[in-house]
Chain A
Amino acid sequence: MMNRTQQPSITEPIHLHLHLQPARHFTLDNGVLVYAVEAGAQEVVQLELVFHAGNWYEQKNIQAATTNFLLKNGTRTKNAFELNEHFEMYGAYLNRGCYHERASLSLHSLTKYLPQLLPAMSEILSESIFPEEELNIYRQNQKQRLAVNLKKADFVANRMIDAYLFGEQHPYGKYSNPADYDALTREDLLQFYAQYYLKGNCTIFIAGKLPANVEQLLNQFFGQLPLNGTALAKPNFSITPSAQKKYSVMNDANGVQAAIRLARSFPNRHHPDFLKAQLLNALFGGFFGSRLMSNIREDKGYTYGIHSFIQAHQQQSAWMVTTEAGRDVSRATIEETYKEMLALQKEPVTAEELSLIKNFMIGTLLGDVDGPFHIIERWKSYILNEMPADYFYTSIQTIKNTTGEELQVLAKKYLNPDDFYELEVI
């Protein structure tokens, strides 16, 4: 007869052997590096071209994001509709994304259609024309979208907390205003496109079931473009954090919840504390069983969810707590969050709690390196952030070896309530 009160025996995930399939790499004729992961059973492929074309490089606010968004809205031979129809005809998804340092153009498609789709992607990267009409439509719709978003407390809070941390002039801290859309011209887009895409600095990541001639295909369509010819001049931005620490904003007098953001600056991922801090973060507010969730959701019911995380910025990061809590319990939520910080400083975590968090992290990491798209995402992150090749294995060792005392030292160093910006938006 089995005993239902007793957990069946388990293999502790910290004793599992984790393996990250290596990415092979090769160079196209123009010097563009390609990282490739061949894996998975389905006949699908994910291709991403990453450019140094984030908002770090723009002269005018939203220049980078707008250029990136309108990349596929017209080339010399195809208008926006024809381009979209072409990709959708093959059931493919052409996406773009713009971040702080980088911007990308990515394709998800069935492997068999690559030969039909790569020429159009290549055309986008050599002959985009950014029609005035497309910019006008985009401008109008983005301004409307912004007006809607500004009614949302969480959206407003996200913008403001970044501005406090980095300053409104810094690429990590600045945000869009309606006037920015009016000020942007077609020439701004053409100029940014010419410098950061046409003659830009590019790295390619491809994963899935790859065609046998993948190198030749990529070389044919991307290896002949005038990419990676000029050294990239990366501007310097200094961080100018706000002097005032506590903010309370009334965005909507009828709001029934407060969007709460608590944040402090934190070193980037090359700092020796970074990996261990991931462990402390998980314990603090990084997963469902964290201290913040257990206390503020599962014991007090103040919120549907409360989370902490460390931003993945390159220059300097930030440690952030986010939640939406009932308006009447907003203050109590903030106080409880501070209590949890102090508790982590005061008492070292028990061996049991530490072992749980380590096993949870390793177990989910095992799932996170399963399948071609997961694997290439991890490599992409390591490569773009210039992490050492064995970083995956270093991370695992760090998770396994970190002690409760080390986490307590880190909590004393980084989880001081006085160091945190405190923002409440109703």
Chain B
Amino acid sequence: MIEFNRFVLENGLRVLVHEDTATPMAVVNVMYDVGARDENPAKTGFAHLFEHLMFGGSKHIPDYDEPLQRAGGENNAYTTDDLTNYYCQLPAENIETAFWLESDRMLSLAFSKKSLEVQRKVVCEEFKEHYINKPYGDMWHKMRALAYQVHPYQWLTIGKELSHIEQVQLEDVKAFFFKHYRPVNAILVVAGNVKTNNIRRLAEKWFGDIPKAEKYVRHLPAEPLQTAARTMEVTADVPLDALMKTWHMDGRLHKGYYVADLITEILGGGSSSRLYQALVKEQQLFSDIQCYQLGSIDPGLLTIQGKLVKGVAMQHAEAAVNAVIQQLVEEPVSETELMKIKNRTESVIVFEDMALMNRANSLAYYELLGDANLINHELNRYHAVTIEDIRQGAQTIFKPENVNTLYYYSKAL
């Protein structure tokens, strides 16, 4: 059970406080309800580039990092398809420094030209490092474009192409900030060795006078139901053939999400999972194979991907994957197997909650989903999934017309 107190400032900023006296530290987490899905299709990668610019100086503070480091703190941030999160951890005594820093950059950035010029380059290098200069690095770019025809999940957080990032102008940055980085679109979580009364006072003091502005309401195009299987073939300079398949699944708040998540565990969770056992160990068709989903808030993708053992034909490997799936569609899982994946899920949650930073981050995330208290019901939702739910879920997800397949061939062959 993770306890927390919650209050809302007049400008709409939601504040959650999680007290934990066992630690000398405090975490300050600010989550903004904006991600890559909110981008203009002609200016992708922007939300993430913007995250970099949040460290380029704010209205009254030229440098974010230095004062925090002087207070013994460290920080980082990340951007996903759905949201942008900034967090820092520092000795609890010095927590006001985090309020000072975070509130000033919510009030207004400095919008420095130099920062934009440098961070454009830094992000381009990040793009190259992770997506271009790496074998198989473009698989997800291709798969997203294949699986999503209208929904903005069709591009990755890093952006569709380098040119989008290179073309960003300071005017774009300003407009984005005043549209999305307002208190009413943000959630502040403070966790650790703190007292709620004191946090309330600090929140009023530092964030209270930031203008409320208009709440951003997203109207994203829903991805239409896929009615025919899609495939794409790629040949690249890689040593091994690879196969990637995705199926549309329910969004984060639906019951079907939990079913799909448990299905990924049955198929790909751990070394006793079905795909690993059948295809890597018994049939030896793949040298590695994974099954996972990305936790997307809007309807996401259940994914299976693996690299083929050299000499194995693509059709043969794919047929073997389909056979494992078919078994799950046709035969009910055993009580024991369901118990195993639920136990694994429970373990993951308990271990994650050990770190103060994770607890702060999760509270912000569930608040963003609509109710921070979901954090304490998550396990029940998994436990409520039945054998019949899994069978029905598998039948819905693995419909033949719901699949997207990327055949990624080695040029060497």
- A residues contacting B by CB (< 8 A) are 2, 4-5, 7-13, 16, 40-44, 80-81, 84-85, 88-93, 108-110, 137, 140-141, 144-145, 147-148, 150-153, 252, 254-257, 287-289, 297-304, 324-326, 355-357, 359-360, 362-364, 366-367, 370-371, 373
Contact = CB atoms under 8 A, between A and B. Distances in A.
A102 to B, nearest CB: 23
Given A299-B118, A370-B25, A85 B340 contact: yes
Q: What 8 pairs across the A-B complex have the smallest Cβ distances?
A: A363-B72, A301-B121, A91-B347, A13-B72, A91-B343, A8-B96, A85-B272, A4-B60
A359 B284 contact: no
Contacts of A43: 350
B22 interface: yes
A72 B96 CA distance: 50
B172 interface: no
Contacts of A254: 237
Interface string B80-120: 00000000011101101101100010010000000001111
B239 interface: yes
Given A11-B94, A366-B24, A371 B354 contact: yes
Given A41-B22, A140-B287, A371-B354, A13 B71 contact: yes
B307 A153 contact: no
A289 B132 contact: no
Nearest to B137: A152
B385 interface: no
A10 B125 contact: no
Given A10-B93, A10-B97, A109 B347 contact: yes
A151 B66 CA distance: 38
Nearest to B73: A363
Contacts of B136: 148
A43 B128 CA distance: 43
6 contacts: A44-B354, A81-B271, A148-B136, A148-B238, A301-B117, A371-B354
Given A5-B60, A44-B351, A81-B281, 15 more contacts: A12-B70, A89-B343, A91-B346, A144-B287, A144-B309, A148-B240, A152-B135, A257-B128, A287-B74, A299-B118, A304-B126, A324-B125, A324-B133, A326-B128, A364-B74
Contacts of A147: 239-240
Given A88-B344, A298-B118, A359 B69 contact: yes
B244 to A, nearest CB: 15
Contacts of B100: 4, 7-8
B133 A256 contact: yes
Contacts of B287: 140-141, 144-145
Interface in B36-82: 59-61, 65-67, 69-74
B201 interface: no
The bracket for how many chain B residues form the interface is 35 or more
Nearest to A255: B133
A256 B118 contact: no
Nearest to B25: A367
A366 B355 contact: no
Most buried by B among A40, A298, A302, A325: A298
B309 A140 contact: yes
B135 A141 contact: no
A90 B343 contact: yes
B330 to A, nearest CB: 22
B163 to A, nearest CB: 14
B179 interface: no
B354 A360 contact: no
Contacts of B309: 140-141, 144
Interface string B264-289: 00000111100001001100100110
Contacts of A44: 350-351, 354
B281 A359 contact: no
Nearest to A372: B354
Contact of A303 (B23, B93, B122, B205): B122
B69 A356 contact: yes
A235 to B, nearest CB: 33
A137 B343 CA distance: 29
Contacts of B19: none
A326 B125 contact: yes
Nearest to A4: B60
Nearest to B65: A289
